[in-house]
Amino acid sequence: MLKAYALEVLGFDLAGIAAATPLESTTRLREWVGHGFHAGMGYMAETLEVRGDPSRFLPGARSVVCVAMSYHDAPEEPELAPRGDRVVVARYARRSDYHKVIKRRLVRLGRFLRTLVPAVTWRIGVDEHPLLERDLAERAGLGWIGKNTCLINRRLGSELLLGELVTDLTLPPDPAEGDHCGSCTSCLDACPTRALPIPRLLDARRCISYLTIEHRSELGEDLHRPVGAHLFGCDICQAVCPWNVRARCRAADPLRPRPHLGALRLDTLDRLEIASWDSLVAGTPLRRLSFARFRRNLGIVADNLRQKDEA
């Protein structure tokens, strides 16, 4: 009944249940942080133990209801090289801020659960909370973690936005999905910065998404050219994935794309002052990018586009 409510009433595209026991992947996360692959994301180290154990996120947790919303619409060619003066924004960021959308629906799910079991305790999570959400979603049968470290679903691909409802109620868990990447290495081969040195290992220090969104200081000179025209985020390792090429288009309100964010041009952006930038990104994930980092990224993109024109 709970999953049916999540799918049929709240409009989530996927829903599954995982046991809230400690995750086996915590050991890998600890090693990942130990090698410095988390780059400047200090919060990953600070919250490591909580992330690996839902009962630390919610004392007494027994189950995690995992949900997903697809933002997959018409597939695009991967942005492997700059084109004209077009500036690239990651596909998930070209629409309303998914945090608010998913949070509101998860709160409604928790309230519905409380009508069934009044004494239940629950807490919601999205990617800004300390949970290993992809690992939990994999455990809940929503898909498997691919070689690009994204959760992949056989019907919907990997353009998925995840959320969790952690509860102290014991619910029957769903079976996990097997791995369906096979021998494919398209994502590893396509990454222009080699941020995926081996399957399922992301080196955030070289990841375009991290560098253009999270990284606070200047980028190393060796990474300027591989960034290409990416102003905010990167979709390359997902765009080349065969599961996304044949995925069903499911993006619906309120996650339909805002067309103007997929058609940004260098000359237009270069004229923006801080107030107009704030207006452009209001209500979208792009608001995470400060004006200073926007100008930093735009300078790198401008140099790359200029070099392309001169070649």
Report the alpha-carbon distance of residue 123 to residue 58 in Å, rounded: 7
Residue 91 inside a domain? The answer is no
Residue 84 inside a domain? The answer is no
Residues 203 and 275 in one domain: yes
Residues 151 and 269 in one domain: no
Residues 108 and 204 in one domain: no
What's the confidence (pLDDT) of residue 85? 87
What's the confidence (pLDDT) of residue 117? 97
pLDDT in tens, 263-308: 899 999 999 999 999 999 999 999 999 999 999 999 999 999 988 7
Residues 8 and 60 in one domain: yes
What's the confidence (pLDDT) of residue 252? 76
CA torsion sign for 282, 283, 284, 289 is positive
Residues 126 and 260 in one domain: no
Residues 113 and 208 in one domain: no
- Give the range of the structural domain holding residue 249, as residue numbers without chain letter: 186-310
Q: Which of 167, 194, 211 is the last residue of a domain?
A: 167
What's the confidence (pLDDT) of residue 54? 97
Strand partners, 152: 144
What's the confidence (pLDDT) of residue 74? 73
Prediction pTM value? 0.94
Report the alpha-carbon distance of residue 155 to residue 243 in Å, rounded: 8
Residue 179 inside a domain? The answer is no
What's the confidence (pLDDT) of residue 254? 84
Report the alpha-carbon distance of residue 298 to residue 289 in Å, rounded: 12
Q: How far is CA 109 from the centre of its chain?
A: 22
Residues 286 and 218 in one domain: yes
Residues with a catalytic annotation lie at 127
Residue 176 inside a domain? The answer is no
Residues 197 and 157 in one domain: no
Count of the separate structural domains present in the chain:
2
Residues 297 and 207 in one domain: yes
Residues 208 and 139 in one domain: no
pLDDT in tens, 153-169: 999 999 999 999 999 99
Q: Which of 115, 133, 167 is the last residue of a domain?
A: 167
What's the confidence (pLDDT) of residue 157? 96
Residue 281 inside a domain? The answer is yes
Q: Which residues contact 73 (CB under 8 A, 6 or more apart)?
A: 249, 251, 256, 257
Residue 263 inside a domain? The answer is yes
Residues of the chain with pLDDT under 50: none
Q: Which of 167, 195, 223 is the last residue of a domain?
A: 167
Residues 13 and 144 in one domain: yes
Residues 145 and 200 in one domain: no
Residue 175 inside a domain? The answer is no
